[in-house]
Structure 1
Amino acid sequence: MPAEGAGEPPAGGRTAAVVLAAGLGSRMPEAHKLTVPLGGEPLVRRAVTAALASAARPVVVVTGHAAEAVRAALAGLDVEFAHNPDFAAGLSTSLRTGIRALPEAVDRAVVMLGDMPAIEGALVDRLAGAIDVPAGRLIAVPVAQGRRGNPVAWSRRMFPALTALEGDIGAREIIAANAGLVAEVAAEGEAVFLDIDTRDELEALALHELAARADVDAEAALDGMRAEDA
């Protein structure tokens, strides 16, 4: 199992990462969600840093809404950008943009969400390594607490299905329709479910991280903060 940042690609092929960062973030209308700071770092930069901590190359970031702000938030990072002018038409358009931007030499891709700040590079490598075309494992999903989460790794053989999606949907229906091709990869904690949509969720996570560093009860601290604001 590769360690985070080890730079050892999974056996059997070249992996890329696609980070989807094109959405409107409509549930946080007061700010551009992906560039709001979390622990002093833009939310999207944390997701992309995790991709870069893996062996996946290239790391392709799909932009759309507020594209220049996303680019600025990722300044200095070794990433490639693919702009989706149709981002308002839904998630499938960003998936299509990202997959089509990958070099021919890539034989698997880990699709990540730009609003998931707790993913680690080691998980990206483990998902990529679970792809095994001869064994019929063309999709790899993380599982924690009996539930499937994100990100998801895809063999190139599944790329046509990804680029054929339409509307504001992700790839969940492809996974459901190809159950026999799915490898499950054990994950720990809440990271594979933790996406940030609202200001309350962002503030709760920021407080949880502060509390974890201080070794105090994050929920108690959050309740106290809300009581003061009441």
Structure 2
Amino acid sequence: MIDPRLTDIPVILLAAGQSRRMRGADKLLEPVEGAPLLRRQADSARAATDGPVIVALPPPPHPRYAVLTGLDVTPLAVPDAAEGMNASLRTAFAALPTGAPAAMLLLADLPDLLPAHLARVLEAVDLDSDTLIWRGATEDGAPGHPIVFAKSMFAEFANLSGDGGGREVVALAKGRVKLVSLPGQAARRDLDTPEDWADWRAERRER
């Protein structure tokens, strides 16, 4: 059961990367079950909360904005997105509502991550414990996404730089992190190259 204080938890969806390894294509616009991956992931985030869904995006104009049309999400341009993921984290955490007791962070390029997985991580969150971070993990225990950060961690994102993806903030929690096992490799499997996408689609056809 999800803590009532978390029913309107803000969700940050990181979608400002440059998709460099796709050799001209955009991985977040690849179709998955009839919709661009980014729209599908935004739908999943929207299903996880009654609160705001903040989608960090490259500066406009950019095709990713169009695929979010009609969704109840907040596009957030990251002016310095080319710097790396930490620029998106700085910008998105600065945009969170002041009263939020926690926030969920989600990567947009994890196509096996489903709304039920987000709910499972939220169900594990205990705001009255000394845990500061709750995060999805693979079935063999490798940490991944989504990640829920307690409010006391928000300020740590303000001075991040580079492309560390928030690892510095996780390190500051000094072990006060709870891993939540999710099926298979859903918490970590991203598709960064055309070959990754081809392999993933082939696996789905074989099921």
TM-score by length of 2: 0.90
What are the ranges of 5 or more consecutive residues in structure 2 without an aligned counterpart?
A: none
Q: Partner residue of 2:17?
A: 23
Q: Partner residue of 2:155?
A: 160
Alignment of 1:1-230 (within 5 A): 1=1, 10-13=3-6, 14-55=8-49, 57-64=51-58, 68-144=62-138, 145-212=140-207
1:131–1:138 CA contact under 8 A, matched in 2: no
Runs (4+) off by over 4 Å: none
1:20 alignment partner AA: L
Secondary structure of residue in 1 paired with 2:4: coil
Aligned residues: 205
Of stretches 63-72 and 45-54 in structure 1, the one that deviates more from structure 2 is 63-72
Of stretches 35-44 and 156-165 in structure 1, the one that deviates more from structure 2 is 35-44
Shift of 1:56: 5.1
TM-score by length of 1: 0.82
Shift of 1:180: 3.2
Q: Once the two structures are aligned, what percentage of the paired residues are identical?
A: 33
2:11–2:52 CA contact under 8 A, matched in 1: yes
1:21 alignment partner AA: A
What are the ranges of 5 or more consecutive residues in structure 1 without an aligned counterpart?
A: 2-8, 213-230
2:22–2:193 CA contact under 8 A, matched in 1: yes
Summarize the Cα distance change of 1:39–1:65 in structure 2 as closer, same or farther, 3 Å threshold: farther
Shift of 1:148: 1.1
Summarize the Cα distance change of 1:43–1:198 in structure 2 as closer, same or farther, 3 Å threshold: same
Q: CA RMSD in A?
A: 1.9
1:80-135 C-alpha deviation (Å, 9 max, x unpaired): 11110100111101011111122123221111111111112222233234333431
Summarize the Cα distance change of 1:136–1:83 in structure 2 as closer, same or farther, 3 Å threshold: same
Secondary structure of residue in 2 paired with 1:70: helix
Matches of 2:76 and 2:108, distance apart in 1: 14
